[in-house]
Amino acid sequence: MPATPRYLSASINVATAADQTIVAAVAGQAIQIVGLVLVAAGAVTVTPKDGTTALTGPISLIAGTPLILIPERAIVP
């Protein structure tokens, strides 16, 4: 019987313009993000990264308007 996947959540409140680690790497384990909600207090751009590698270009956020990212189909091993 395959192992039951374990889901964790994180809430982040960032007030400075700098790279922020949301999920720290764990040796020998893979991390899969299955959804993301971003809300900004002001106009700002964010760039999702894997380490130092940008996963997309900059994403512009508008104050108070949530950006909800949920994959069409989450693949769970």
pLDDT at 75 over 60: no
CA distances from 22 to 26, 33, 72 (A): 13, 11, 22
Residue pair 22/12 in contact by the 8 Å Cβ criterion: yes
Domain ranges of the chain: 36-69
Residues forming a β-bridge with 37: 68
What pLDDT is attached to residue 1?
Answer: 63
More confident residue, 73 or 31: 31
Q: Say what the pTM is.
A: 0.67
Q: Over the chain, what is the mean pLDDT?
A: 82
- Tens-place pLDDT, residues 28-64: 988 877 788 888 899 999 888 888 899 889 999 999 9
